[in-house]
């Protein structure tokens, strides 16, 4: 017979009454059907913190203490741990923390309550992992996080627990996994309390859980009182001719946010510098990333901030980063980054302080592995402070280039999608001309609009608008022609001739 979660319904002080059993049954089924997503306290990024911070032994003394304390039977160390565990605490035993992380992740899925604190006990003799979750002051659950069946003997009867099953345990129960056995004790035979810092590693998330609650409350309240803005619909499919840049954004940010488990053991970068000429789609791609990942974000402009915040920059930067941390996952997009992160050591000591502040804030994000991604765009990569560009701060550099011929065609298609082009429109020649003129994505978009207006002029639509004689038929029959585009391109060349050197033409 397979054990049910209710079978072992004792508490640490004896058997429970029928009424208590019934109560437990109800709370048990409630827990089973309640999905993590409906629980206000459930927060993936918060729970993920747990498995990211691997412990380090500071010195050899701790190491030797651990070796000695490992000689004390595991059942003793567990009994001592049960005595200090509070509801919301998770306790894992295993060979090494890094190998037990899988077991911890399993518990995140299984335990539908928030894990407030986690403890790890290193143990070589007992095969496999043991995972205990303290549900209430009286109830401790064991979760089988191992790949094979575990056995539990309670009240003289033995039951099995398949992988992923979880049951209540009580003092006197015997656990068996493979050839290892262990008895659950109520109290240790000797007082181990002073040895705790050495035999058990603790992770405390109570602070985090507090900020999760605040964050969630803020979100709910904001949702009640403010009308939601319609989300921008720019997606990665709309960003043309920047395949390499989009690939980097997907692999470094989008996929880790979508599938955190796959990246649990990978150190992610949090700072990205998007470089390249204006209008190549840096802001546009960041917008697409925000929409694809469905995350909170904020757009900042380095130049505007510097003029707005004179003398108060450092504090404002701290506030902005704190807002990002409080609302993670979060994307901060900083346009014209060179205005705030130019190389230090010049005469601008005030600017140097800002660079130092940004470096500190980025290091903090990196060390705490927050789900905060800072995308900084610049057309002057060389002007940035070298320390800013280093890995750990803004280590990933994503070049945005002027589109090649194929990219020009794709960008044209995206922005001309709903425009009334004439049937004999010569797309090939217009695309080639745009490419020769080194048009950026923004230029292409603008040229399509200019050609539209040029066509309105040619077809007398502007005049009719002036006279108020315009009809729906005039508008419905209107088409943009190749000539309209050529006229728009001529104007574009004239207005940009001082800046641009066309490809394929001899430079003067
Ligand atoms: P940047 O931030 O590099 O200066 P933007 O992202 O602000 O350039 O580009 C301005 C506009 O030009 C965008 O909103 C978009 O409409 C268009 N655009 C730029 N690059 C692309 C691209 N690669 N694909 C499609 N549209 C683009």
In CATH terms, the fold of domain 236-399 is: Rossmann fold (3.40.50)
How much is the pLDDT for 344? 66
Average pLDDT of the residues in 297-311: 77
Q: Which atom of ligand 1 is nearest to the CA of 239?
A: 24
Q: How far apart are CA 184 and CA 405, in angstroms?
A: 71
Question: CA-CA distances (angstroms) from residue 244 to 240, 248, 395, 450?
Answer: 10, 6, 17, 30
Q: How far apart are CA 435 and CA 429, in angstroms?
A: 10
Residue 281 CA to ligand 1 center (angstroms) comes to 3
Question: CA-CA distances (angstroms) from residue 41 to 85, 115, 132, 137?
Answer: 20, 10, 20, 20
How much is the pLDDT for 457? 92
Ligand 1: residue of 335, 441, 443, 450 to mutate (most ligand atoms within 8 A of CB) is 441
Residue 279 CA to ligand 1 center (angstroms) comes to 5
How much is the pLDDT for 37? 30
How much is the pLDDT for 352? 75
Average pLDDT of the residues in 384-406: 87
Residue of the CA atom closest to atom 25 of ligand 1: 239
Q: Which among 170, 173, 129 is positioned nearest to 148, based on CA atoms? A: 129
Question: pLDDT band for position 390 (50/70/90)?
Answer: confident
> Who wins on pLDDT, 360 or 58?
360
Q: Over 90: is that where the pLDDT of 392 sits? A: no
Residue 169 near residue 152 (C-beta atoms within 8 A): yes
Provide the total of helices (H) and of strands (E) in the chain, helices listed first.
20, 17
How much is the pLDDT for 347? 56
Residue of the CA atom closest to atom 26 of ligand 1: 441
How much is the pLDDT for 59? 58
Residues within a 6 A CB radius of ligand 1? 238-242, 278-284, 377, 400, 411, 414, 441-442, 445
Average pLDDT of the residues in 60-86: 81
Q: What are the backbone angles phi and psi of residue 442, rounded to the nearest 5°?
A: -65, -40
Ligand 1: residue of 235, 247, 442 to mutate (most ligand atoms within 8 A of CB) is 442
How much is the pLDDT for 191? 85
The strand pair at 130-134 and 89-94 is best described as antiparallel
Q: For 35-49, 204-218, 438-452, 493-507, which range has the lowest pLDDT when averaged over its residues?
A: 35-49
Q: Over 50: is that where the pLDDT of 496 sits? A: yes
How much is the pLDDT for 110? 74
Q: Over 60: is that where the pLDDT of 180 sits? A: yes
How much is the pLDDT for 143? 92
Structural domain spans, the chain: 10-205, 236-399, 405-496
Element (H, E) at 416: helix 405-416
- Whose tokens are 């033995």? That residue is 158
Ligand 1: residue of 234, 273, 284, 434 to mutate (most ligand atoms within 8 A of CB) is 284
Residue 237 CA to ligand 1 center (angstroms) comes to 13
Average pLDDT of the residues in 75-90: 90
How much is the pLDDT for 209? 66
Question: pLDDT band for position 349 (50/70/90)?
Answer: low
How much is the pLDDT for 38? 30
Q: How far apart are CA 115 and CA 202, in angstroms?
A: 12
Question: pLDDT band for position 502 (50/70/90)?
Answer: very low
Percent of all residues in the chain with a pLDDT value above 90, rounded to a whole number: 37
How much is the pLDDT for 412? 96
What are the beta bridge partners of residue 132? 91, 142
pTM score, two decimals?
0.56
How much is the pLDDT for 40? 33
How much is the pLDDT for 91? 93
How much is the pLDDT for 504? 32
How much is the pLDDT for 203? 83
Per-residue model confidence as pLDDT tens digits over 241-281: 999 999 999 999 999 988 888 888 888 899 999 999 999 99
Average pLDDT of the residues in 387-395: 80
- Angle (CA) 342-343-349 rounded to 5° is 90
Residue of the CA atom closest to atom 8 of ligand 1: 279
Q: For 215-219, 457-461, 490-494, which range has the lowest pLDDT when averaged over its residues?
A: 215-219
Q: Which among 280, 239, 290, 234 is positioned nearest to 400, based on CA atoms? A: 280
Percent of all residues in the chain with a pLDDT value above 70, rounded to a whole number: 77
Instruction: Provide the CATH number for the domain formed by 405-496 in this structure.
Output: 1.10.8.60
Q: Over 50: is that where the pLDDT of 20 sits? A: no
pLDDT, the chain, mean: 79
DSSP label at residue 390: S
Taking each helix axis from N to C terminus, what angle separates 313-326 and 349-368, rounded to the nearest 10 degrees? 20
Q: For 278-282, 285-289, 351-355, 481-485, which range has the lowest pLDDT when averaged over its residues?
A: 351-355
Q: What is the DSSP string of 88-142?
A: TEEEEEES-HHHHHHHHHHHHHH--S---EEEEEE-SSS-S-EEEEE-SSS-EEE
Average pLDDT of the residues in 63-87: 83
Question: pLDDT band for position 498 (50/70/90)?
Answer: very low
Residue of the CA atom closest to atom 7 of ligand 1: 283
Q: Which atom of ligand 1 is nearest to the CA of 240?
A: 24
Question: pLDDT band for position 13 (50/70/90)?
Answer: very low
């Amino acid at each position: 017979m397979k054990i049910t979660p209710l079978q072992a319904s004792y508490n640490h002080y004896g058997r429970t009454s029928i009424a208590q059993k019934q109560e437990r049954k109800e709370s048990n089924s409630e827990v089973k059907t309640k999905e993590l997503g409906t629980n206000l306290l459930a927060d993936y990024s918060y729970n993920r913190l747990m498995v990211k911070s691997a412990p380090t032994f500071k010195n050899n003394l701790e190491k030797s203490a651990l070796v000695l304390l490992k000689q004390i039977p595991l059942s003793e160390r567990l009994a001592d741990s049960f005595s200090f565990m509070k509801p919301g605490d998770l306790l894992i035993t295993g060979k090494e923390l890094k190998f037990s992380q899988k077991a911890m992740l399993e518990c995140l899925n299984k335990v539908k309550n928030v894990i407030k604190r986690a403890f790890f006990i290193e143990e070589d003799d007992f095969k496999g992992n043991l995972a205990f979750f303290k549900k209430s002051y009286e109830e401790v659950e064991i979760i089988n996080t191992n790949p094979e069946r575990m056995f539990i003997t309670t009240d003289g009867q033995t039951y099995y627990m398949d992988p992923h099953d979880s049951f209540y345990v009580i003092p006197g129960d015997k656990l068996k996994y493979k050839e290892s056995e262990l008895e659950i004790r109520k109290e240790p035979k000797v007082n181990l309390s002073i040895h705790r810092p050495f035999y058990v590693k603790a992770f405390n998330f109570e602070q985090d859980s507090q900020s999760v609650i605040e964050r969630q409350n803020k979100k709910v309240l904001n949702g009640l009182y403010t009308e939601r803005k319609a989300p921008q619909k720019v997606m990665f499919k709309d960003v043309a001719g920047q395949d390499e840049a989009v690939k980097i954004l997907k692999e470094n940010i989008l996929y880790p946010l979508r599938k955190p488990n796959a990246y649990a053991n990978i150190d992610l970068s949090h700072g990205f510098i998007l470089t390249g000429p204006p209008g190549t789609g840096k802001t546009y791609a960041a917008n697409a990333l925000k929409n694809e990942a469905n995350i909170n974000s904020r757009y900042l402009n380095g130049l505007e901030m510097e003029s707005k915040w004179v003398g108060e920059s450092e504090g404002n930067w701290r506030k902005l980063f704190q807002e990002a941390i409080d609302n993670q996952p979060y994307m901060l997009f900083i346009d014209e980054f060179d205005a705030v992160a130019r190389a230090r050591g010049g005469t601008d000591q005030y600017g140097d302080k800002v660079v130092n502040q940004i470096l500190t804030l980025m290091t903090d994000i990196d060390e705490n592995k927050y789900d905060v991604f800072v995308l900084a765009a610049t057309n002057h990569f060389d002007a940035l402070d070298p320390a800013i560009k280093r890995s750990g701060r803004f280590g990933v550099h994503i070049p945005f280039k002027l589109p090649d011929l194929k990219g020009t065609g794709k960008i044209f298609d995206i922005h001309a999608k709903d425009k009334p082009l004439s049937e004999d429109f010569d797309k090939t020649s217009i695309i080639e001309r745009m490419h020769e003129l080194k048009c950026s994505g923004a230029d292409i978009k603008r040229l399509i609009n200019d050609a539209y207006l040029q066509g309105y002029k040619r077809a007398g639509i502007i005049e009719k608008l002036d006279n108020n004689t315009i009809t729906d038929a005039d508008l419905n029959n209107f088409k943009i022609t190749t000539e309209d585009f050529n006229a728009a391109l001529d104007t574009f060349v004239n207005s940009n001739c001082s800046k641009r050197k066309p490809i394929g033409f001899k430079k003067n």
